[in-house]
């Protein structure tokens, strides 16, 4: 569950309080068995580099009861992560791994285990967005359940920039038991050439495992919260550039869409494709992305390139297709239809493909002679259905 809360003043105060070009990780772990209690903490301090703080606490009693908690925060420029692990045996009733200082589930608090800040110089002028996201998962086995929370703050302000859209809340999830979560939001600004933008992010998380003493079995819980790789700066106007004091590349345009794979008899879910970003008209890839398709052939990737570029996509037996995109702002709804029949992966359907298919004809998955590339419809058998797909596209080639 995400609870929207207006926090522009908190966000800006946070950004102003953390020195530019700095990161910090702080961690605290608690372990409790019965009436016994142990805690441990670590603070990396502010440094101009990625940093990690890890704390572990182990509590046990002579009768054999044992609780273990581990809290870890990793902070980098534009990247924050928290991971908490807790184990509790049948003598225990409570164990906790939490972030930096006293926090509780009753009050909201502003406790962070990972922080970063940076300064961005903007080349060119125009509109841009500062995206931030929070994702993660909670896993649990054994008796009881984990009580958990994850929250992400993001701040942005500067000189020569005008705020066009403020998100108005931080990203926050909490719950009891196993879960997965994701949310994303953004600021939008209008910048003059040479403007400076101060950005800052902070991640807080905690997990508290509760169970009844005497229940058989060991409880094992893991909270893994990740700011999905990095905070992103996305230009909406042409000719813009972003230069970070830390040297971090924040520019990232997300491209998402759907690939239709001709002749596929099964779901496209899990099918690998190769996506390249090129200069318009060039055959040399600037970026290569190996992407696994989702349900219905959906895909998504992020590129540091902006402006007009060619984007190509190719599957294991599907010919390469291409489109030209103007990479300004995130792009959604991109659609590709790929022709099938390229058994040997040379981007053409010809006699060489027919010979391989003929040699594997009649074979099935897991048996000698089976060639996955010849099983064009991916039904586990190389048969006349695959031959018909090849014949329908014989002589066809994909884009270079």
Cβ neighbors of 58 (< 8 A, separation 6 or more) are: 31, 38, 66, 67, 68
Per DSSP bridges, beta strands 253-261 and 298-303 are antiparallel
Is position 105 within any domain?
A: yes
Which H or E element spans position 165? Answer: strand 145-165
Angle between helices 384-392 and 351-360 (to 10 degrees): 180
CATH number of the domain residue 290 falls in = 2.60.40.10
Task: Report the CATH number at residue 369.
Answer: 1.10.1330.10
Residue 131's CB is within 10 A of a number of other CB atoms, namely 21
Same domain, 166 and 68: yes
Say whether both 156 and 274 belong to one domain. no
Residues 283 and 200 in one domain: no
Residue 400 included in any domain = no
Q: b/e map of 319-343 (b: 16 or more CB within 10 Å)?
A: bbbeeebebbbbbeebebebbbbbb
Report how far Cα 120 is from the mean position of its chain's Cα atoms. Answer: 23
Q: Are residues 267 and 365 in the same domain?
A: no
DSSP H helices in the chain: 8-17, 351-360, 384-392
In a domain, 101, yes or no: yes
Quote the number of domains for the chain. Answer: 3
Is residue 242 one of the residues assigned to a domain? no
Please give the residue range of the domain that contains residue 230: 8-235
Q: What is the pTM of this model?
A: 0.82
Residues 174 and 297 both lie in one domain: no
CB neighbours (10 Å) of residue 31? 27
Domain shared by 371 and 257, yes or no: no
- C-alpha 138/C-alpha 124 separation (Å) is 43
In tens digits, what is the pLDDT along the chain, a chain of 400 residues?
333 222 222 222 233 344 557 888 878 777 777 667 788 888 888 888 899 999 888 887 666 678 888 889 999 999 999 999 988 876 655 555 443 333 433 444 555 688 899 999 999 999 999 999 999 999 999 988 898 988 888 999 999 999 999 996 689 899 999 999 999 999 999 999 999 999 999 888 888 888 776 777 888 999 999 876 579 999 999 999 999 999 999 999 999 999 999 999 999 999 999 999 999 999 999 999 999 999 999 999 999 999 999 999 999 999 999 999 999 999 999 999 999 999 999 999 999 999 999 999 999 999 989 999 999 999 999 999 999 999 999 999 999 9
Question: Does residue 199 share a domain with residue 102?
Answer: yes
């Amino acid at each position: 569950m995400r609870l929207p809360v207006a926090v522009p003043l908190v966000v800006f105060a946070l950004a102003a309080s953390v020195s530019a070009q700095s990161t910090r990780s702080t961690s605290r772990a608690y372990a409790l068995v019965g009436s016994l209690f142990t805690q441990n903490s670590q603070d990396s301090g502010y440094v101009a580099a990625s940093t990690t703080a890890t704390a572990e606490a182990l509590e046990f009693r002579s009768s054999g009861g044992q609780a273990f908690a581990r809290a870890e925060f990793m902070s980098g420029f534009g990247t924050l992560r928290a991971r908490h692990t807790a184990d509790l045996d049948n003598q225990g009733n409570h164990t906790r791994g939490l972030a930096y200082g006293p926090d509780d589930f009753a009050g909201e608090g502003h406790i962070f285990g990972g922080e970063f800040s940076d300064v961005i110089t903007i080349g060119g002028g125009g509109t841009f967005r500062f995206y931030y996201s929070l994702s993660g998962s909670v896993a649990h086995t054994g008796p009881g359940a984990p009580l958990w929370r994850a929250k992400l703050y993001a701040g942005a302000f500067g000189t020569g920039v005008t705020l066009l859209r403020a998100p108005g809340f931080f990203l926050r999830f909490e719950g009891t038991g196993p879960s997965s979560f994701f949310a994303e939001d953004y600021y939008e600004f209008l910048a003059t050439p040479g403007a400076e933008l101060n950005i800052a992010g902070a991640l807080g998380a905690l997990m508290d495992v509760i169970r009844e003493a005497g229940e058989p079995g060991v409880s094992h819980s893991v909270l893994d919260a990740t700011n999905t790789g990095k905070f992103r700066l996305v230009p909406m106007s042409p000719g813009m550039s972003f230069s970070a004091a830390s040297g971090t590349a924040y520019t990232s345009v997300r491209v998402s869409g759907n690939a239709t794979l001709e002749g596929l008899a099964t779901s496209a879910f899990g099918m690998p494709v190769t996506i390249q970003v090129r200069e318009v008209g060039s055959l040399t890839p600037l970026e290569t992305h190996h992407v696994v398709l989702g349900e219905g052939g959906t895909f998504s990737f992020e590129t540091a390139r902006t402006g007009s570029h060619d984007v190509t996509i190719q599957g294991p037996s599907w010919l390469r297709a291409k489109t030209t995109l103007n990479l300004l702002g995130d792009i959604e709804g991109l659609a590709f239809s790929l022709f099938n029949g390229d058994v040997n992966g040379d981007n053409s359907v010809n006699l060489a493909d027919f010979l391989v298919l003929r040699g594997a004809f009649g074979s099935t998955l897991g048996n000698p002679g089976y060639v996955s590339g010849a099983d064009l419809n991916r039904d586990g058998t190389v048969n006349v259905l695959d031959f018909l797909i090849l014949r329908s596209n014989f002589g066809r080639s994909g884009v270079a």
